[in-house]
Chains A and B, each alone.
Chain A
Amino acid sequence: MTMKNKKETKSAPILFQMMIYAAILFISQMISSMMPASFPVPTPVIGLVLLYVLLTAHVIKIEWVDSFGSAMISMIGFLFVPSGISLAANLDIMKAQGVQLVLVILLATIILLVVTAYTARAFGWIKQKFGERHAESQVSQSTVGGDKQ
């Protein structure tokens, strides 16, 4: 039991984890600055892809980045507070056409959520419909395989 617990909580020291994050961000920042001005790709986007690729390629082990990353994600609501308060700098725009803008943004948010979700659902349905025959043959193959074992 204690052995199992130890294995589950096994994670690299926090400073080591921070170093990994810093290294990835440093490299991402260099890549980001090389992108053309007409096609900007920000550091966090490159960093996310880079970390994901390195994890998938097993260059970075999950326990090197797991607990620090989870801690950061759990704080993300708080980390967004300065962005929210930054609207204080644009109160003029809000006074001029604030109600209109907020309503359009509210509707746009709902449009983005619902359109994307339903498009994905439609494609999922198409894939299921057209992949049925393929999936069936795969299922029968795996049952045969299962029988052998």
Chain B
Amino acid sequence: MSYLTNPLFGVFLSLAVFMIGQWLFKKSKGFFLFQPLFVSMVLGIVILVILGKTFGVDTAQVYTQAYKPGGDIIFWFLTPATIAFAVPLYKRNDVVKKNWGIILSSLIIGTVVSLFAITIVAKAFGLDKVGVASMLSQSATTAIALPLTTAIGGNASITAMACILNAVIIYALGKQLVKWFKLKDDPVGAGLGLGTAGHTIGSAFALEMGSAEGAMAAVAVVVIGLVDNMLIPVFAHVIGL
């Protein structure tokens, strides 16, 4: 396995599975389960599991030793990509300036309502206290969500999984969800919702819908993190976590 520990393996694997994903998505004429990101995630994990079986080591170990060095290089570029959302935001400054009241009030009220709804759903599915606590901060970006989860007694790796799946779900089901819930005719609401639920990927999706949606999603990514930071510790205290 030693020659797999070179970072180039992870870089190549990521590119290869994403290319396969794009090819499948195109071939299937856009079948939602063949979203490139979803395909590359499943395919990449399957390959790591197979490699683990072949070399007789734990999958987590294959991940850390063989994939992560290369994966981290690609992951690093998410930081400049995230701040790049200031560009579409600036280009639609008109929408931001006109709607800042709606933006702030709906993100705060929306978060409170969502927190109650998520708690009810999590309890209905039989998650324990740790599980519920790990579900609350998923609307924040990972770097805010993980310390928040730890602070209220959740499991940070479950929250990390939630943050990733949020983005994958929005990327894969975004079109259907926008249609089912009739979000198209309200760019402000659609953009804020997509940014809150799907983070940066949600913002990229919103940007494809329109420049106003994209700008609103970028605002949501920033503001929701700060709102969660302030509200979630209080909320966790109130529901007795």
Which residues of chain B are near A69, meaning CB under 8 Å?
Answer: 84-87
Which one of B36, B60, B127, B186 lies within 8 Å of A104 (CB-CB)? B127
B86 engages A55 (CB within 8 Å):
yes
B106 at the interface (CB under 8 A from A): yes
Report B229 CB to chain A, min CB distance, Å. Answer: 6
Q: Scan B102-113; emit 1 where CB is below 8 A from any A CB, else 0.
A: 110111011101
Q: Scan A33-63; emit 1 where CB is below 8 A from any B CB, else 0.
A: 0000111111111011111100110000010
B interface residues (Cβ-Cβ under 8 A, vs A): 10, 14-15, 17-18, 36-38, 40-41, 44-45, 48-49, 59-60, 62-64, 67-68, 71-72, 74-75, 77-91, 93, 99, 101-103, 105-107, 109-111, 113-114, 117-118, 121-122, 125-127, 131, 135, 138-139, 141-144, 147, 151, 155, 157-158, 160-162, 164-171, 177, 181, 183, 186, 188-190, 192-194, 196-198, 200-201, 204, 207, 218, 220-222, 225-226, 229
Instruction: Report Cα–Cα, A109/B61, bound state, in Å.
Output: 30
Which residues of chain A are near B138, meaning CB under 8 Å?
Answer: 105, 108, 112
A88 engages B62 (CB within 8 Å):
yes
A105 engages B110 (CB within 8 Å):
no
Which one of A38, A49, A80, A101 lies within 8 Å of B131 (CB-CB)? A101
A83-B164, A105-B169, A121-B186 in contact; A25/B80 too (CB < 8 A)? yes
A93-B158, A105-B169 in contact; A86/B164 too (CB < 8 A)? yes
A84 engages B40 (CB within 8 Å):
yes
A82 engages B177 (CB within 8 Å):
no
Instruction: Report Cα–Cα, A102/B169, bound state, in Å.
Output: 10
Smallest Cβ-Cβ distance to B118: which chain A residue = A108
Which residues of chain A are near B103, meaning CB under 8 Å?
Answer: 120
A40-B147, A127-B101 in contact; A87/B45 too (CB < 8 A)? yes
A39-B229, A87-B164, A100-B127 in contact; A77/B171 too (CB < 8 A)? yes
Which residues of chain B are near A84, meaning CB under 8 Å?
Answer: 37-38, 40-41, 44, 164, 168
Instruction: Report Cα–Cα, A87/B103, bound state, in Å.
Output: 33
A137 at the interface (CB under 8 A from B): no
Which residues of chain A are near B139, meaning CB under 8 Å?
Answer: 112
Instruction: Report Cα–Cα, A65/B87, bound state, in Å.
Output: 7
Which one of A43, A50, A85, A111 lies within 8 Å of B44 (CB-CB)? A85
Number of residues on chain A facing chain B (CB within 8 A): 77
Which one of A73, A101, A123 lies within 8 Å of B161 (CB-CB)? A101
Q: Scan A89-120; emit 1 where CB is below 8 A from any B CB, else 0.
A: 11111100100111111111111111111111
B222 engages A45 (CB within 8 Å):
yes
A interface residues (Cβ-Cβ under 8 A, vs B): 21, 24-25, 28, 37-45, 47-52, 55-56, 62, 65-66, 68-70, 72-94, 97, 100-124, 127
Number of A-B contacts (CB under 8 A): 325
Q: Which 6 A-B pairs have the closest CB atoms?
A: A84-B41, A42-B143, A82-B71, A69-B84, A117-B193, A47-B83
Instruction: Report Cα–Cα, A94/B155, bound state, in Å.
Output: 13
A52 engages B67 (CB within 8 Å):
no
A56 engages B90 (CB within 8 Å):
yes
Which residues of chain A are near B147, meaning CB under 8 Å?
Answer: 37, 40
Instruction: Report Cα–Cα, A39/B45, bound state, in Å.
Output: 34
Which residues of chain A are near B64, meaning CB under 8 Å?
Answer: 89
Which residues of chain B are near A21, meaning CB under 8 Å?
Answer: 80, 83-84
Instruction: Report Cα–Cα, A116/B219, bound state, in Å.
Output: 13
A78 engages B14 (CB within 8 Å):
yes
Which residues of chain A are near B117, meaning CB under 8 Å?
Answer: 111, 115
B110 engages A86 (CB within 8 Å):
no
